[in-house]
Structure 1
Amino acid sequence: MLESLLSYSDHPAWLVLIVIISTFMLEDLAIIGAALLAASGKMAPEMAFVATCAGMFIGDSALYLFGRAAHISPWLAKRFEHDLIQRQVRPLQQAPWHQLALIRCMPGLRTFGYIACGLAKVPGWTFTVANVVSIWLWAAAIFGVAYVFGKQYADSMAEWLWWLLPLALIIFVLGQRRLRQNIEQEELQDSGQVS
């Protein structure tokens, strides 16, 4: 029975689902993982790229909709009173295109940023267009680099990949934590200077 379950892991539909779901957790690593799957021949490059972009769009849209829902749900509104979210609302109301581009490039702020888009009542059409453009540009850049390196070093990477992925995950998580700490420290310093 285990063998039959493992045989599904190479099925393209299963891999597409894994790529889409993985973007909900760690988007940039999901892009790199999809590119490496494509470079190793497990997925067609086009399918891997589209699955990555689809997962990013679904996740970002869900966060945006949670932010919009906070206007009618006091329970959600209370959950989104975090300073990192509230600090982004005013800039999003003033310059949504610019702010959406910055949010995409700042991995530590994405979750908070897309919720803030909903709270700031960024129009759905503006959010969707800006999000699709930023997803495509961001994913294309990371996917392209990872795919080229994956193709070039596929043989030597195969034996090291199982060791490198957990290490990359740990480095990424620690980097995200450090980025958030820096942002919170700057926020505390700014609030200390204001008062």
Structure 2
Amino acid sequence: MKTKLQKNSGKILTVVVSVFIIFLAYNLYHAPVEGLEEKFIYLLKTYGYIILFAWSMLEGEMGLIMAGLLSHTGDMNIYIAVFVAGLGGFAGDQVYFYIGRFNKAYVYKNFKGQRRKFALAHLLLQKYGWPIIFVQRYMYGMRTVIPISIGLTRYSGKTFAFINLISAWCWAAITIVPAWYFGEQILDVLHWIKEHWYLALPFAILIGGGILYYFNKVTKKKENIYNETNTF
């Protein structure tokens, strides 16, 4: 039987994101320090684990890297950071899963432009099974689609939750631990970029554009393998 929590999973995610943004904006404005950069650092040090959990629900690696750097400087505990980030990533994908499981009409209506990706996600699940759940966090353009598409199937919710939790903690550790270990070098690079941003900006644009181009090309190539009739 559907519970109200499951049926309203999409609304819950929207509320969480909205509250998170309002929380950040309010505390950023009232931070007792001068300068936007100092205010942001103060916010991370004061509400680090709360921000990390919410950020991880959206599966943003930048938040995990910041957690690794704060762990390096002693402002966060690396073990707690990995634990909290993993829980956040787990919670986010569980919400997406239940959107697919109990809000099919919403998915059909609002994800029409993603039909090829849903078809690809279903075929990948049929071909590779549970490992797709484990690696979906590293698949650009498919992070949201795969949990929702699995929810649309009869795949066991308990099995998905178990694999999702292990995957989320691995994802958190793989991202946070290197940032913590190489924290000094990363901070030196960031300091150099801050002082020489005019030199670093072209490289950042070039590298970022190259990464986006590569993943978009790979995703489109995979999608074109399958016929559009293989929809959900």
Give the TM-score, by structure 1 length: 0.76
State the partner residue of 2:43.
Answer: 9
**What secondary structure, in the 3-state scheme, does the structure 2 residue paired with 1:121 have?**
coil
State the partner residue of 1:182.
Answer: 218
**CA distances 1:112-154 after superposition (whole Å, capped 9, x unpaired):** 111111112321111011111111222222222111001x426
> Which aligned runs of 4 or more in structure 1 are off by greater than 3 angstroms?
1-8, 93-96, 160-164, 167-174, 189-192
C-alpha separation in 2, matches of 1:2 and 1:53: 29
Q: Which amino acid aligns with 2:180?
A: Y
Q: Which amino acid aligns with 1:153?
A: Q
**CA distances 1:46-77 after superposition (whole Å, capped 9, x unpaired):** 22212211211111111111111234xx2332
**What secondary structure, in the 3-state scheme, does the structure 2 residue paired with 1:146 have?**
helix
**CA distances 1:3-29 after superposition (whole Å, capped 9, x unpaired):** 5385962554x1112112222445322
Residues 53, 169 of structure 1: CA spacing in aligned structure 2 closer, same or farther, 3 A cutoff?
Answer: farther
Tell me if structure 2 keeps the 8 A contact 1:69–1:76: no
State the partner residue of 1:137.
Answer: 170
C-alpha separation in 1, matches of 2:76 and 2:205: 22
- Structure 1: gaps of 5 or more residues: none
Tell me if structure 1 keeps the 8 A contact 2:45–2:76: no
- Structure 2: gaps of 5 or more residues: 1-28, 34-38
Q: How many residues align?
A: 187
C-alpha separation in 2, matches of 1:130 and 1:109: 17
C-alpha separation in 2, matches of 1:156 and 1:146: 13
Q: Which amino acid aligns with 2:224?
A: L
Tell me if structure 2 keeps the 8 A contact 1:66–1:118: yes
How far 1:190 sits from its partner (Å)?
Answer: 5.0
Work out whether 1:79 is the aligned partner of 2:126: no
C-alpha separation in 1, matches of 2:96 and 2:89: 11
Identify the match of residue 153 of structure 1 among 185, 189, 200. 185
Tell me if structure 2 keeps the 8 A contact 1:29–1:169: no
C-alpha separation in 1, matches of 2:135 and 2:66: 24
Tell me if structure 1 keeps the 8 A contact 2:64–2:176: yes
